Amino acid sequence: MQAILHHLIYKVISLVLSITMLFGVGETALQVDQSAWNTNYSYVFVHGLSGWGSYDDVYKLMPYWGMFGGDLMEYLNNRGFHTYAASVGPTDSAWDRACELYAQLTGTVTDYGVAHSERCKHERFGKDFTGRALIPAFDETNKINLLGHSFGGATVRMFAAVMAQGSAEERAATDPAELSPYFVGGKGGWIHSVTSLAAPHNGTTAYSDDGKADEQTPLQKALGDMMSSYNNRTFDDRIESDHANYDMYIDNALALNEKLPVFADTYYFSYACSATEKQADGTYKAINSKMEFLFRSSANRIGAFTGVTDGGYVIDETWLENDGLVNTISAKAPFGQPQQDYDADRVTKGVWNIMPTILGDHMSLEGGLFHVNDIKCLYTEHLDRINRLPA
Q: By the 8 A CB rule, do 82 and 71 touch?
A: no
- Distance CA(315)–CA(279), nearest Å, equals 18
Residue 371: inside a domain:
yes
Residue 309: inside a domain:
no
- Distance CA(27)–CA(164), nearest Å, equals 39
Q: By the 8 A CB rule, do 199 and 326 touch?
A: yes
- Distance CA(86)–CA(137), nearest Å, equals 15
Question: Domain span at residue 164?
Answer: 30-215+242-275+332-388
Domain CATH number, residue 85: 3.40.50.1820
Count: domains in the chain: 1
Residue 23: inside a domain:
no
Query: 254-287 burial, b for 16+ CB within 10 Å, e for fewer?
Result: bebbeebbbbeebbbbbbbbbbbeeeeeebbbbb
Residue 204: inside a domain:
yes
Residue 21: inside a domain:
no
| Backbone angles phi and psi of 195, in degrees to 5 | -125, 125
Q: Write the CB contacts of 3 (distance below 8 Å, at least 6 apart in sequence).
A: none
pLDDT value, residue 213:
38
- Residue ranges, the chain, pLDDT below 50: 1-26, 211-235
Q: By the 8 A CB rule, do 98 and 50 touch?
A: no
CA 346 to chain centre: 26
Alpha helical stretches, state H, the chain: 2-23, 58-61, 72-77, 94-106, 114-120, 151-165, 168-173, 218-231, 250-257, 296-302, 328-332, 376-388
Q: By the 8 A CB rule, do 362 and 326 touch?
A: yes
- Distance CA(255)–CA(314), nearest Å, equals 15
pLDDT value, residue 31:
82
SS3 category, 368: coil
Q: By the 8 A CB rule, do 169 and 162 touch?
A: no
Q: Write the CB contacts of 210 (distance below 8 Å, at least 6 apart in sequence).
A: none
pLDDT value, residue 15:
39
Q: By the 8 A CB rule, do 293 and 370 touch?
A: yes
- Residue 51, judged by CB atoms within 10 A of its CB (0-12, 13-18, 19+), counts as buried
Strands (DSSP E) contained in 163-298 are 191-197, 267-271, 273-274, 276-278, 284-286
Closest CA to 352 of 334, 328, 376: 334
Q: By the 8 A CB rule, do 252 and 181 touch?
A: no
pLDDT value, residue 237:
79
Residue 300: inside a domain:
no
The one-letter amino acid code at 157 reads R
The residues facing 44 across adjacent strands are 84, 146
Residue 296: inside a domain:
no
- Distance CA(270)–CA(272), nearest Å, equals 7
Residue 143: inside a domain:
yes
| Backbone angles phi and psi of 388, in degrees to 5 | -85, -15
